[in-house]
Amino acid sequence: MTLPRLSFLGTGYLGATYAICFAELGYEVIGVDVDRAKIQALTGGRVPFHEPGLDDLLRRNLAKGRLSFSTDYADAANRAEVHFICVGTPQRGDGMGADLTYVEQAVTQLAPLIKRRALIVGKSTVPVGTASWVEQLVAKLADPALGVEVAWSPEFLQEGFAVEDVLRPNRIVAGVRSAWANDLLAAAHKGVFDLAATEDREVPLVITDFATAELVKVAANAFLATKISFINAMAEVCEVAGADVTQLARAIGYDPRIGNKFLQAGLGFGGGCLPKDIRAFQARAQELGAGEALRFLHEVDLINTRRRGRVLHLAAELLGRPVGPAGPDLSGTRVAVLGAAFKPNSDDVRDAPSLAAAAALAAAGAEVRVYDPQAMANARRAQPALGYAESLTDAVNEAELVVVATEWAEFRNADPAVLGGLVAAKRVIDGRNCLDPAQWVRAGWTYRGMGRPPA
Ligand code: UDX
């Protein structure tokens, strides 16, 4: 079987990762983006964001000549038979629904340029119903004699593990309309199935209709968000009952029906997907008349944001500061915030609980110094008014309170005895329950975790 040639429209986090990984699987790939700076970086062998392992794969596949990038949609139309839409679907101005402008632009630019029978595959996370709408758009804009078709195949990438998630996905889901689309999509994923076969694994393939394929993605993210908020709700109860949520999570996680993943209580979820997706899902369900079915996601969101406030109150408690009607007054205190990325091994600060907590501490009057191993540039851009430090030691120097807000290995493995020699007072809030309380207490620190009794 000759492999189809692939294009990835939009070379942001999703599209660039897919384009590079599919070139690695042996496909001839072109990535297209209207952003010249991105295309220049990628063409020059530089990934414009932090994702472990991706730089090497980019350079290797550029050198092999299987991978190219362009700002011209005509290049995608001329060179590929399968076009993956990987553009962003940001939160709308109303703070709830998804903005489909970029999807519309990508399809509008590509469809009239297509000269042979081709398949346009949506990957972006979209409200249910979008695939049918794209299909109508394509019917209007593409030459009807060619028989251009649409399919929808959501992605499930986790930042920090994205290369593995593309090369070794735990499933492939595709909404298709015809046997032709089904076969072409199978050919476009042959590399993934072949790799699995050589490693004695199987990648389940779920072929379904458009609406189900679209919903799979948002349902999966809604479930993950709910799981995190569930354990954070338990953390709230543990805090008033004197119980330890980390032990509770371990104990319930042994039940295979529950499972031990995504039960890490802490500052809550952030990033470019979970918060935005659960809001867009609620908005869409409301439009469809099923708003009540997803009302619990509103609660999931509330529990999640409440955790950020918890850090503020813990800080006041540890620092012995008053809590007035307007909230805690932390003026005159120095607080080190360790972590700005929404999770470790990422430089992404979108909706990062760490930065939100840092901003809340600063708004309460604390002099905040934020340090992150990878996300400094993005953090400075997102929250320019916050104080920043160049290193872990610089951040904690003379601090009266240290808040661990992202569980980077650099923080987990830091020696509390060494840090203790730098700070003005040994107080730590473990916002991710990622430290060993006993070790910190032995080194003389006052330790407070999330949903755990004081150590
Ligand atoms: C998520 C989904 O996992 C992925 O499948 C989807 O394609 C995109 O959204 P990602 O945003 O990369 O991926 O991050 P993820 O690892 O899921 O973490 C999301 C947030 O939840 C992070 O802020 C993380 O710190 C937090 N989290 C995760 C918890 O607070 N507790 C947990 O137990 C797990």
Q: What is the rounded average pLDDT of the residues 439-453? A: 98
pLDDT at 48: 94
Ligand 1 centroid distance, CA of 269 (Å): 6
359-415 pLDDT per residue, tens: 999 999 999 999 999 999 999 999 999 999 999 999 999 999 999 999 999 999 999
Ligand 1 centroid distance, CA of 224 (Å): 8
Which of 157, 181, 208 finishes a domain?
208
Mean pLDDT computed over every residue of the chain: 97
Distance from C-alpha of 435 to C-alpha of 449, rounded to nearest angstrom: 9
Question: In the structure, what pLDDT confidence band is assigned to residue 96 with cuts at 50, 70 and 90?
Answer: confident
Indicate whether 154 and 52 sit together in one domain: yes
pLDDT at 455: 86
Indicate whether 344 and 273 sit together in one domain: no
Indicate whether 229 and 171 sit together in one domain: no
**Residue with CA closest to ligand 1 atom 21:** 269
Q: 273 catalytic, yes or no?
A: yes
Sign, CA dihedral 243-245-247-253, equals: positive
Tell me whether residue 364 is in a domain. yes
Indicate whether 236 and 372 sit together in one domain: no
Q: What is the rounded average pLDDT of the residues 171-190? A: 97
Question: In the structure, what pLDDT confidence band is assigned to residue 234 with cuts at 50, 70 and 90?
Answer: very high
Indicate whether 119 and 18 sit together in one domain: yes
Burial of 164 (0-12, 13-18, 19+ CB in 10 A): middle
Q: How many CB atoms lie within 10 A of CB 412?
A: 14
Question: In the structure, what pLDDT confidence band is assigned to residue 203 with cuts at 50, 70 and 90?
Answer: very high
Which of 168, 185, 208 finishes a domain?
208
Distances from the Cα of 449 to the Cα of 165, 323, 363, 437, angstroms: 31, 20, 22, 8
> Kind of pairing, strands 401-404 and 334-338?
parallel
Range of the domain at 364: 305-449
Q: Is the pLDDT of residue 1 over 80?
A: no
Q: Is the pLDDT of residue 167 over 90?
A: yes
> Kind of pairing, strands 6-9 and 367-371?
unpaired
Q: Is the pLDDT of residue 93 over 90?
A: no
Indicate whether 239 and 356 sit together in one domain: no
Bridge partners for 380 per DSSP: none
Higher pLDDT, 50 or 43: 43
Ligand 1 centroid distance, CA of 274 (Å): 7
446-449: long-range pairs with CB below 8 Å, 24+? 446/318, 448/314, 448/317, 448/318, 449/246
Indicate whether 350 and 298 sit together in one domain: no
Element (H, E) at 120: strand 119-122
Tell me whether residue 320 is in a domain. yes
Tell me phi and psi for residue 70, to 5 degrees.
Answer: -155, 160
pLDDT at 97: 87
Which of 208, 242, 276 finishes a domain?
208
Tell me whether residue 120 is in a domain. yes
Tell me whether residue 455 is in a domain. no
Tell me phi and psi for residue 14, to 5 degrees.
Answer: -70, -55
Which residues sit with their C-beta closer than 6 Å to ligand 1? Answer: 156-159, 221, 224, 228, 262-264, 266, 268-271, 273-274, 342-343
ipTM over 0.85: yes
Indicate whether 64 and 199 sit together in one domain: yes
Q: What is the rounded average pLDDT of the residues 236-244? A: 98
Q: What is the rounded average pLDDT of the residues 220-238? A: 98
Sign, CA dihedral 188-189-193-194, equals: positive
Residues above pLDDT 90, as percent of the chain: 96
| Probe residue for ligand 1, chosen from 260, 343, 348 as the CB with the greatest number of ligand atoms within 8 Å | 343
Q: Where are the alpha helices (DSSP H) in 125-189?
A: 130-141, 162-167, 179-188
Q: Model pTM?
A: 0.95
**Residue with CA closest to ligand 1 atom 27:** 269
Tell me phi and psi for residue 141, to 5 degrees.
Answer: -100, -25
The amino acid present at 137, given as its one-letter code, is L
Residues 207-218 as b/e (b if ≥16 CB within 10 A, e otherwise) read beebeebbbbbb
Q: What is the CATH number of the domain that holds 391?
A: 3.40.50.720
Ligand 1 centroid distance, CA of 42 (Å): 26
Q: How many domains does the chain have?
A: 3
Tell me whether residue 1 is in a domain. no
Q: What is the rounded average pLDDT of the residues 165-191? A: 97
340-353 pLDDT per residue, tens: 999 999 999 999 99
Tell me whether residue 454 is in a domain. no
Indicate whether 400 and 344 sit together in one domain: yes
Indicate whether 329 and 430 sit together in one domain: yes
Q: What is the rounded average pLDDT of the residues 314-326? A: 94
Active-site residue, selected from the candidate residues 21, 86, 238, 273 = 273
Distances from the Cα of 347 to the Cα of 10, 124, 340, 374, 399, angstroms: 19, 21, 8, 5, 24
Q: What is the CATH number of the domain that holds 238?
A: 1.10.1040.10
Indicate whether 48 and 172 sit together in one domain: yes
119-162 pLDDT per residue, tens: 999 999 999 999 999 999 999 999 999 999 999 999 999 999 99
Q: What is the rounded average pLDDT of the residues 180-207? A: 97
pLDDT at 27: 98
Tell me whether residue 159 is in a domain. yes
DSSP 71: S
Widest pairwise Cα distance in the chain: 76
Tell me whether residue 41 is in a domain. yes
Indicate whether 201 and 345 sit together in one domain: no
